[in-house]
Structure 1
Amino acid sequence: MLYEIVHQFPDDMIFEEKGPFISLYQPTHKHFPENKQDPIVFKNLIRKIEQSLQKKAEKRLVISIMKPFYELEEDKDFWNTTSTGIAVLASQNKCIVYKLHSMVKEFAVVADSFHIKPLIKAFQGMECYHLLTLSRDNFTLYEGNRYGFTEVKLEPDVPSTLKDVLGDQLTEPYLGSGSFGGGGSPIYYEQGGKEEEIGKDTEKYFRYIDRFIFEKYSKPSKSSLILVSLKEYHAVFKQISHNSYLLDQGINASYSTLDVKDMASKAIEIIENINLKKTEKIVQSYAKAEAESLGSSDIAQVAKAAYESRVETVLIEADKIVPGRIHDNGAITFDDIDHPDIDDILDDLAVLVLKRKGNVMVLSKDKMPQAAVVAAIYRYR
């Protein structure tokens, strides 16, 4: 296979310095018969790419760069498994493909840098998370993002139930206790004297789950953890938890009463709320930084600061194109918007900031601070 399907962004290829660079974005369809048109649209887009390449490169190089596109065009399995959109980035050395779950506008260009703003926007809203469903005697872990989640299969030798974890230390007879009542207090039958010990069993079990999830999953992935359980278990688990990735907001329901779609929609609502607050916080941080001369919305100043590795975070308007390029010394040159293959200064800026280990956020026009096209927060003056 001459192309690679990737799932992470950014890929190192966006930092390549030897062009030409091809960027292709296309809306796609999940279902028949609409998806039958997708390869035809793709064929028209790659014809446009080839025509542009022929103006820039010799025939042998054009043929080499185009081969992955032709292979992708004929890959029926690929076109039968797309979602909402695709993105293809290609150079002389590599071709990568993203299957996107968010809408993109049809776009294909050959330029001296990659067009990556749509990819940044797609991935910045795709925060990964873990979903922990918890009862008094069992738990299940899921991993996902805003587009869905799957169950994490634990190793066969990993204890997961209360009985497996506590073993001989389990208070007997444990099954003498009933479920929690509506008021949040345990109900016990006959073995009322065991109430304190059984409560300790639950606490020990929750502490085990907390340590296990943090060490094996939260700590390595740095993903947010959403708890799904009855309200009374939320209180107990959060009180004993040392997992810094556990969110304050959870899903207050027994997972046995929720289907997969219910849990997914509730989790997405939580994640989107987090993303919204994160965006608002960064916009507020920019206002403070600008007031302290640690921020700017002047594109020339921001480009120079990015070249000097001074940009900590840059906010870029999603649908805006500023024709031109950023030179090796950080200076910018503006160009004609009517040029078919012109670079976008905003894309160049995004790549430069990412290369210097800064953060890039692509926002809609109404979310940008002070109606700016670009807004940067500096590490230092």
Structure 2
Amino acid sequence: MSTTINDISPSRLTPEDLKTLAETSENPCVSILMPTHRSGPETRQNAIRFKNLLGEAKQKLEDAGHDCSILEPLESLSTNFDFWQHQKEGLAIFLTSDQRRVFLVDRTVPASVSVADEFFVLPLLRSGEDAERPLVLSLTWDSANLYRFDGESLESMPTEMLPAKFHDLVLPRDPEENLQNTSHRSHGNAGATSTAMFHGHGEGEDKIEADRRQYLSIVGDQVAGAVYDSGSPLALVATTEVAGHFEAATDVRVDAKIEGSSSQWSDEELRERVCQTLSIDHKAVEQDTAERFAAAIAQGSGSDDVSEITAAAANRRVDSVMVCVDNLEAAELNSIVVDTLRHGGSAFRCAAEKMPGNATVAAIFRY
């Protein structure tokens, strides 16, 4: 989620955040976007660029007759060394009179300042926003975490019992007591039941093996419910050993595997490995989506005419809209995207060579 700038602890933008930004309508809405350097001496350029953009925002506010005090919470950032040492590829800041939100972006965004009655979200659109986003299960013998992958970042996807440590799911117990005592919890819409179970009988390796089977079975139940509810494919991040035991202990279908133990990686390393493995599939989905738009336009249930799409978006008629990456600074296209997201549609960017008929924007209508 987002955070106030006073906390100076920005986080990654999620699709839910993007929709919330699109739903904001206030005058003024100030949007400041900029590319950033992750590390090294170049990080000093971050503060300089930000200071310049802040000056541009002040000028635009003055020109529009607005009070520039809305920018005061940002002024200390230009001299905050620690803040600029912890960046990604881009930074996005959004302000209204009573709202201040800051996000890290995993790709470069153009430096821009907007003062309008809506936030400028166009450069933040992700590729294939309406495509299936696979689930990613990060699994070790010590812990299990489930994420949703949108092509660029991982978003935690909690279930009733995940994320969890091994001993959250397989409970220590006096061996004299009955191992059949269980704690039942239901999940999802799959109608299955997951169980926090006690350590089984036996000694040494037999006991460890029994506990691990119980652990994997419970994780499998949780993941199966999430897959059932979402219809998404599943990628498994695990060592060969853990992956083999998981598939043997459950009926969960694994569509892709990422070899390794996430316990030895940072969050960023995990994200990068997932991106490397799943990016090819994501690009293929993007191509399929472009073809779907072209078919809708040919059949009259879509359009690539900017004026027609603008009117349709304002009238809640756009189901999904695709914008060319070469046109991510156009205010008119931003309004199309904002109206589409406000009314429950989806919006995403696409490479110029995959746009139907080399169009600037394409849309599929609801009716």
When the two structures are superposed, what TM-score results if normalisation uses the length of structure 1?
Answer: 0.70
| Cα distance change of structure 1 residues 219 and 67 upon mapping to structure 2, 3 Å threshold | farther
Residue pair 1:321, 1:345 contacting (<8 A) in 2 also: no
Q: Which residue of 2 aligns with 1:345?
A: 332
The DSSP-based 3-state class of the residue aligned with 1:70 is helix
**Equivalent residues in 2 for 1:67-82 (5 A)?**
67-82=72-87
2:312 matches 1:305: yes
* CA positional deviation for 1:110: 2.4
Give the unaligned 5+ runs of structure 1. Answer: 178-197, 324-343
Alignment correspondent of 1:207:
217
CA distance in structure 2 between the partners assigned to 1:257 and 1:3 by the alignment: 32
Q: Distance in 2 between matches of 1:201 and 1:45?
A: 57
Partners of 1:132 and 1:379 lie apart in 2 by 37
Aligned residue number for residue 102 of structure 1: 107
Q: Mean alpha-carbon deviation: is it higher for 307-316 or for 149-158? A: 149-158
Note if contact 1:23-1:114 (Cα within 8 Å) is conserved in structure 2. Answer: yes
Residue 53 of structure 1 pairs with residue 61 of structure 2 = yes
**Rg larger in structure:** 1
User: What is the DSSP-based 3-state SS (H/G/I as helix, E as strand, rest coil) of the residue aligned with 1:352?
Assistant: helix
Matches within 5 A, 1:146-165: 146=152, 152-154=163-165, 156-159=167-170, 165=197
**For 2:76 and 2:99, how far apart are their aligned partners in 1?**
14
Identity score, percent: 21
8 Å CA contact 1:203–1:236 kept in 2: the answer is: no
Counterpart secondary structure, 1:118: helix
Q: Which residue of 2 aligns with 1:276?
A: 283
Conserved? CA contact 1:3–1:94, under 8 Å: no
Q: Which ranges in structure 2 are unaligned for 5 or more consecutive residues?
A: 157-161, 173-178, 180-195
Per-residue Cα deviation, 1:107-142 (whole angstroms, up to 9, x for no partner): 2232343221221238959968433336xxx46324
What residue is the counterpart of 1:236 in the other structure?
248
Q: Which residue of 2 aligns with 1:328?
A: none
Q: CA deviation at 1:358?
A: 0.2
2:356 is the alignment partner of 1:378:
no
Contact 1:15/1:355 (<8 A) preserved: yes
The residue aligned with 1:248 is: 255
* 2:30 partner amino acid: I
Partner of 2:235: 226
Deviations 1:232-287 (A, max 9, x none): 5475356x22xxxx541223x5x469953886554223331332232122112212
- Measured in 2, the distance between the counterparts of 1:77 and 1:201 equals 44
1:211-251 deviation per Cα after TM superposition (whole angstroms, max 9, x unaligned): 13445x7679987642235375475356x22xxxx541223
Find the partner of 1:131 among 121, 124, 137.
Answer: 137
- The AA in structure 2 aligned to 1:51 is Q
2:143 corresponds in structure 1 to: 140
Q: CA deviation at 1:356?
A: 0.5
1:258-273 matched pairs, under 5 angstroms: 260=265, 265-273=272-280
Q: For residues 10 and 149 of structure 1, do their structure 2 counterparts lie closer, same or farther at Cα, with a shift above 3 Å needed?
A: closer
Deviates more, 1:4-13 or 1:291-300: 4-13
Structure 2 residue identity aligned to 1:107? S
Q: Does the alignment pair 1:114 with 2:119?
A: yes
Deviations 1:292-313 (A, max 9, x none): 2211111122122222222111
State the distance in 2 between where 1:46 and 1:131 align: 41
Q: Quick check: 1:128–1:143 contact (8 Å CA) kept in 2? A: no
Please give the residue correspondences for 1:12-91 in structure 2 after superposition, counting only pairs within 5 Å: 12-58=20-66, 61-62=67-68, 64-91=69-96
Query: Does the 8 Å contact 1:286/1:377 carry over to 2?
Result: yes
Say if 1:221 and 1:133 are closer, same or farther in 2 by CA, change over 3 A. Answer: same
Moved more, 202-211 or 120-129: 120-129
Pair 167,224 (structure 1): closer, same or farther in 2 beyond 3 Å: same
Alignment RMSD: 4.0
Counterparts of 1:223 and 1:361, CA distance in 2:
19
User: For 2:91 and 2:84, how far apart are their aligned partners in 1?
Assistant: 10
Q: Secondary structure at the match of 2:309?
A: helix
Distance 1:46 1:250, change over 3 A: same
What TM-score, normalized to structure 2? 0.72
2:347 to 348, 355, 360: 360
Counterpart position of 2:186: none
The question of whether the paired residues in 1 share the 8 Å contact of 2:324 and 2:351 is answered with yes
